[in-house]
Amino acid sequence: MSNIHPTAIIDPSAQIDPSTVIGPYTIIGKDVVIGKNNHIGPYCVIENTTMGDDNELIASSFIGVKPQDLSYKDEPTRVTMGNGNKIRECVTIHRSTKLDIPTSIGNNCLLMANAHIAHDCHLGNNIIIANSTGVAGHVVVEDRVVMSGMVGIHQFVRVGTMAMLSGGAMLPLDIPPYCIAQGERARLVGLNLVGLRRGGVSREAIMEIKRAYKLMFRSGKRLQDAMAELEAAHPCQEVQHMIDFCRASNRGVASAKLKMHENDD
């Protein structure tokens, strides 16, 4: 295949579309399926992965390698990756520990240099993860989340749609949709209003989200009581998603700081 550099090592079981380019010294292991028009740079290692189309791996990425989990017994678990993702230098994405549910990356995500996605994570679409951010095992990240550099996320945490995580944030608890979180034990500091506007959320829905945020996280009411009050008013779908997300939390939901973020005024 003319698009595969002669120094690359390809396992005979790998299924690679002829349009995909594979750079020098890259290793494609067993149980790999790679779709159309991918560009895989030098020194990458890909194992136990199904990859869609139009993805770009710059260099030295490790995709589908064994999870860092002492209970893992070398089962043929997997990573699945969608289309149009940009994977920068030295990113690691580990395969799952469960045979029936792979580690998954959606479409059109940007994972910057040295980002780590652990076993059994599930990332949605249009997610941006900046340099040296670590996502521990079993984390769920919904669509259009933005993570700044050097964020750390505890295992089993969930991050809601269009949330934004400030640089260096440490997340032991779930971050609801549309919120900004920051701090060593991250707390909510406001709403990602820029992300909401850029994401095409209507002005009316944004106003409802503002009211819901204040009632749920700044009114002093119990979260369950605030959510019941919001539901009684037949909220928009975005507010209902906030409510559903918080109700589904197992680890608990991050609380708000006393002072609101300046963008919420």
Give the catalytic positions in this structure: 119-120, 137
* Other CB atoms within 10 Å distance of the CB of residue 136: 19
3-class DSSP assignment, residue 150: coil
Q: What residues does 171 pair with on adjacent strands?
A: 153
- Measure CA 76 to chain center: 23
Distance CA 160, CA 15 (A): 35
Alpha-carbon distance values, 77 to 50, 140, 178 (Å): 11, 18, 33
Question: At CB < 8 A and 24+ separation, what contacts does 149-153 make?
Answer: 149/112
Structure tokens at 140: 């769920």
